């Protein structure tokens, strides 16, 4: 689903995408920080995985920040909101244990992967630096989704409750960020 971006707006669009992705990665870092806080009690076997995922998200955030700096662009206005919202979501879901943690990651990553694929389609052949930055994180985001999906069974309580809320919230944050 390729969208035509006028040539004179490609740089502006790519910079906006990178800002929103950077803010989103800040949200993800903080989701995992909040989850790790409670997972030590509610899901101790997941802590090492969450720490690994958090380190991936910190690298992703650094990739987008480096590209924004190269372009002399500030961070997105929603950066702090994403961090606070992410930490809050992480604390709440972390308190409910393994399946709530996993359901949250699956829902977030499903939305993120869809947006990353759309971004790659829209920017391919137009802004290779942005494409390279986005491509550098896709596999780890897919790994987070797939590994987390293995922790939950279909039709269980937490995926049914959290998926629509987390999906809608993630979509809303992206939508706001793209318009801020």
pLDDT tens-digit readout, 94-117: 999 999 999 999 999 999 999 999
Distance CA 67, CA 55 (A): 19
Residue 20 CA, distance from chain mean position: 10
Distance CA 36, CA 67 (A): 29
Please tell me the predicted confidence (pLDDT) of residue 1: 40
Q: H helices within 124-156, ranges in order?
A: 128-149
- pLDDT at 158 > cutoff 90: no
- pLDDT at 8 > cutoff 60: yes
Q: Which helix (H) or strand (E) holds 116?
A: helix 98-123
Structure tokens at 65: 């920040």
Which stretch of 38-52, 125-139, 150-164 has the lowest confidence by average pLDDT? Answer: 150-164
Please tell me the predicted confidence (pLDDT) of residue 3: 54
Within 8 A by CB and 6+ apart from 81, the residues are 23, 173
First and final C-alpha spacing in the chain? 24
- What is the average pLDDT score of the chain? 93
- pLDDT at 2 > cutoff 70: no
- pLDDT at 26 > cutoff 70: yes
């Amino acid at each position: 689903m390729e969208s035509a971006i006028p040539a004179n707006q490609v740089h502006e669009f790519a910079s906006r995408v990178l800002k929103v992705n950077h803010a989103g990665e800040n949200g993800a870092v903080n989701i995992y920080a909040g989850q790790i806080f409670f997972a030590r009690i509610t899901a101790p076997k997941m802590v090492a995985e969450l720490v690994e995922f958090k380190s991936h998200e910190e690298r992703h955030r650094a990739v987008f920040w480096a590209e924004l700096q190269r372009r002399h662009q500030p961070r997105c206005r929603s950066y702090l909101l994403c961090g606070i919202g992410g930490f809050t979501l992480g604390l709440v879901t972390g308190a409910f244990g393994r399946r709530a943690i996993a359901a949250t990651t699956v829902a977030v990553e499903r939305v993120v992967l869809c947006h990353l694929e759309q971004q790659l389609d829209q920017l391919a052949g137009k802004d290779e630096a942005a494409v390279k930055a986005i491509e550098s994180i896709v596999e780890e985001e897919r790994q987070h989704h797939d590994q987390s999906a293995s922790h939950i069974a279909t039709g269980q309580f937490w995926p049914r409750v959290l998926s629509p809320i987390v999906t809608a919230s993630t979509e809303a944050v992206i939508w706001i960020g793209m318009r801020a």
